Amino acid sequence: MATHEQLPSTSSRPILDPTVSKQEKSSKDEAPSTALKRNAEEASLSTQKINIGTRRSALAVVQAEMIMKELKKAHPEVTYEIHAMATMGDKNQTTALHDFGAKSLWTHELEAQLLDGSLDIVVHCLKDMPTQLPKKCTIGCITEREDPRDVVVMKKGLEYKTLGELPDGAIVGTSSVRRSAQVKMKYPGLKFKDVRGNIGTRLAKLDAEDSEYSCLILAAAGIIRMDWGHRITQYLDSKTPGGGLLHAVGQGALAIEVREGDDKIANILADLNHKDSSLAGLAERSLMRTLEGGCSVPIGVETTWIEKGKLLMKAIVVSLDGKESVETERLEEILNEKDADQFGWDVAQALVEKGASKILEAINLNRPIIEEGGGA
């Protein structure tokens, strides 16, 4: 991996030319044109309106409002407007996620408007973004990550708090094969059933008097952003006893997608980028891209900054029935995006060497296993 000394200069200052004297290019001569350029840029920025795209779900709108608040703080001279729309994943609330063939389930319609200029930026959950973006689209920044862990939310009125306390046959609601596959490894007596909809919709289905669900497994980040953290009864990370689930790639982080080459937007977003969250997210996406996985493949990951510049990644690939799994973990110095990309690739290769490709191939050949497991 690169060291600090090996990193290229990121300074925006021009290299000084010792052959040019102060008399030839004096500050007096340069000041008027420089000032005019700066004033023109500021005038352009002050009249600019940034159109923010997002999904129309309650959580997505809350997340877009969070980003708009930060943008207003960094650039109050710019006006902002949120445009919420339904994506393919929002319009179809009955089909299980793994049955969709499209990789851009939550992003396609928004990206189309980004490319035609109707939108200037799009706010996504990083975990919803395909690892291969459309041409002329790129990630402008990744903001500071919320808690990336998966959590358990028990039905109101039940005395249980954890998965381990549930009796055999209890039904766990989740639309994620990554979650159900990992839970099957530890708790083979539990049953799984698909559950779709906004977080509020899913909680209502859980708490309904005639509900068949004993609990849901959800992302902590969404619950916290909706101010429903009090409903969490168990965290499922690798360090919590009885947990042991590795989360989805990018979970907990928000990414802002932009058009390539839009320097003005890139400058506006610069203050929102969170380096540690960005590098960890890019490393996780590199792992996913190398394994060619998606929301229908049980790949889990967990990244932790051990100290400045040192990133620990744990990763797992699980068979759909939870009976086979391959795990690995690696600690590396990550200083820049190139390091992050290579790190994800290295971890993916370690999984492949341990047999992950065999599990992934079996998943693609044996999709009926998903339906036998209750559609989760």
Give the C-alpha separation, 110 to 52, whole Å. Answer: 10
Q: Is 194 a catalytic residue?
A: no
By 3-state DSSP, what share of the chain in percent is helix, strand and coil, each rounded to 5?
Answer: 40, 20, 40
Per the DSSP assignment, residues forming a β-bridge with 316 are: 300, 327
The answer to whether 124 and 234 are in contact (CB under 8 A) is: no
- DSSP element (H, E) containing 327: strand 325-333
Return the exposure string of 21-42: e unless at least 16 CB atoms fall within 10 Å of the residue's CB, then b. eeeeeeeeeeeeeeeeeeeeee
CA-wise closest residue to 250 among 126, 93, 124: 126
Residue 296 DSSP SS3 = coil
* Active-site annotation holder among 17, 29, 120, 128: 128
Give the C-alpha separation, 217 to 180, whole Å. Answer: 9
Residue 87 sits at φ, ψ, to 5 deg, of: -100, 175
Measured CA to CA in angstroms, residue 125 lies from 166, 245, 255 at distances of 31, 20, 6
What does the DSSP assignment read for 166-193? Answer: SPTTPEEE-S-HHHHHHHHHH-TT-EEE
The answer to whether 122 and 257 are in contact (CB under 8 A) is: yes
Q: How many CB atoms lie within 10 A of CB 118?
A: 13
The answer to whether 372 and 340 are in contact (CB under 8 A) is: no
Could you give the residue numbers annotated as active site?
128
